Amino acid sequence: MSAALAYHAATNAPAGGTDEVSVLDQATRPHPFKDYRDADRLPLETSVAGPVLSDGAGVVRSRETGWGTIWFRGYSSAGALYPVEAYAATPVGLLSFDALGRSFARVRADDVRSQLAAAAADPRLADAGAILVLTGIPARTGWKYGERGYRHIWWDAGTLLANVLALAAADGLRPQLRVAFIDEDVNRVLRVDGVHEYALALVALGGEAAPPGANIASNSLLLAPSGPSFPLAERAHAASSLDDADAVRGWRAGQGEDEPALARDELVRAIRRRGSVRRYAPDPLPRRELAMLLAWSEAPIPVDAPPVVRQLVTVASVEGLESGVYDAELTRLRAVGERELRAAVGFAAMEQEHPRAAAANVFQLADVDAVVARLGDRGYRWAQLEAGIRAGRLQVGAFMRGWGAAASTFYDDEVSRLLGTNEAPMLMVSIGPR
């Protein structure tokens, strides 16, 4: 069995079980932001990446609790743990996005775009106005979710990317997502160790490149803390790494279509309002608007990988539709009574109330055996990431329509049973009127 499939099987949550570690010690809860020490600070306007990251991944609100502050950002992250970091390779150096300080911290003064382009086996990236690089820090999400936290890293990266790609398209930057690259080379450029922090994805942004800045010495970041070990996730990640340019070119499948362009102001307003809504009004959703939302979530992603995720919808309260299981075009696949459906969805979603109360639940699914057979272990990474992107679109799109939404985890086999499929759930989103 592949390392990715072994990881997936080992981290499935059984009915009646949990996806969390047995004891949560708030005293050891990891801080969701990096310590930038004395790194040079640059305004976000330094790069075309700045407005995209500020509006798509910035802090939008905070809340004080008995044990500290919880920050909420423009994209969803289970437990508000935020295991994803964002860097921007620009003409003035390699910059790390400080979401809390709303600025860039310069961590390298040299222009590394050509190095990232070589690692991605795509020379065109060297001419991008900026190259975003997302990384994952497993200690943050593993604190609560243990080995299963590796899935959360990809989901979080996907919901962040949904914002970034949409905003970049609205800015006319024609974003291009790259998930095939030489892992060791990208990690080396970022100066991360590939275990406690590692590269997840690259996004090339067009636009005018900023003029080079002064040639000052590089600064260093406080490295991601070592934290606990997650051997299953580490093996899956190592097995899905690409070692050279030939492997990258051999894995890559096309360049992807353009990201759909939406109205930027509407996007930003929705991103800022977005939250994990867990109470819904009893009114039905309008069918036409739901169909439009699903169409955006299904739209092509500008990426060097083929689509491997499909979405199924459980409809409990939508105008003109009987309750049951539907495909993403709202064609009914199976009739299920509303009361029975709500109970089954609530149970499959780890016995949570908000999926039971939602008007509709959208499930992102993948045949993981077929994906790995076709794309190798790296295909598993992409399946989780694609699910996160489509789930992120659903959440922002719901808020653009004045609805509420929340992503959820689940009892894996119960979801497959509910939907009548052998495909594995990657993620799910509950949607309802507010």
> How would residue 134 be classed by pLDDT, with cut points 50, 70 and 90?
very high
Contact 122, 96 (CB under 8 A): no
Same domain, 314 and 229: no
> How would residue 207 be classed by pLDDT, with cut points 50, 70 and 90?
low
Picking from 251, 267, 293, the residue at the C-terminal end of a domain is 251
Residue 405 lies in a domain: yes
- Nearest partner of 308 among 406, 255, 248, 381, judged by Cα: 381
Q: What is the pLDDT of residue 1?
A: 77
**Dihedral angle of Cα 222, 228, 232, 233, to the nearest 10 degrees:** -30
Same domain, 231 and 307: no
Contact 411, 14 (CB under 8 A): yes
Q: What separation in angstroms does the CA of 135 have from each of 28, 59, 195, 367?
A: 22, 18, 11, 26
Is the pLDDT assigned to residue 222 strictly greater than 70?
no
Q: What is the pLDDT of residue 49?
A: 97
Same domain, 240 and 346: no
> How would residue 225 be classed by pLDDT, with cut points 50, 70 and 90?
low
Q: What is the pLDDT of residue 208?
A: 47
Q: In this structure, what token pair is assigned to residue 158?
A: 């996907």
DSSP string, 410-423: --HHHHHHHHT-SS
- Nearest partner of 222 among 187, 201, 191, judged by Cα: 191
Same domain, 96 and 146: yes
**Dihedral angle of Cα 53, 56, 59, 60, to the nearest 10 degrees:** 150
Contact 129, 245 (CB under 8 A): no
Residue 392 lies in a domain: yes
Q: What is the pLDDT of residue 228?
A: 83
pLDDT digits (tens, 9 = 90+) for 171-200: 999 999 999 999 999 999 999 999 999 999
Q: Which residues are within 8 A (CB) of 402 and not within 5 positions of it... i.e. 6 or more apart?
A: 433, 434
Q: In this structure, what token pair is assigned to residue 136?
A: 């994952």
CA 285 – CA 415 distance, rounded (Å): 23
Residue 212 lies in a domain: yes
- Could you tell me which residue, 37 or 278, shows the higher pLDDT? 278
Total residue count of the chain as it appears in this document: 434
Of 22-26, 142-146, 177-181, the poorest mean pLDDT is in 22-26
Q: In this structure, what token pair is assigned to residue 240?
A: 């899905």
Residue 80 lies in a domain: yes
Other C-beta atoms within 10 Å of 311: how many? Answer: 23
Q: In this structure, what token pair is assigned to residue 239?
A: 């097995």
Same domain, 232 and 282: no
CA 112 – CA 126 distance, rounded (Å): 8
Q: What is the pLDDT of residue 131?
A: 98
Same domain, 181 and 328: no
Phi-psi region of 93 (alpha: psi -120 to 50; beta: other; left: phi over 0): left
**The pairing of beta strand 68-73 with beta strand 59-65:** antiparallel
Same domain, 281 and 339: yes
Counting the structural domains of the chain, the total is 2
Residue 168 lies in a domain: yes
Same domain, 27 and 156: yes
Of 93-107, 114-128, 170-184, 209-223, the poorest mean pLDDT is in 209-223
What CATH number corresponds to the domain at position 357?
3.40.109.10
Same domain, 322 and 373: yes
Same domain, 231 and 319: no
Chain mean pLDDT for the chain: 94
Is the pLDDT assigned to residue 165 strictly greater than 50?
yes
Residue 267 lies in a domain: no
Residue 225 lies in a domain: yes
Mean pLDDT, residues 270-275: 96
What is the residue range of 171's domain? Answer: 3-251
Of 67-76, 143-152, 190-199, 215-224, the poorest mean pLDDT is in 215-224
Contact 242, 183 (CB under 8 A): yes
Same domain, 240 and 138: yes
Residue 262 lies in a domain: no
Same domain, 197 and 230: yes
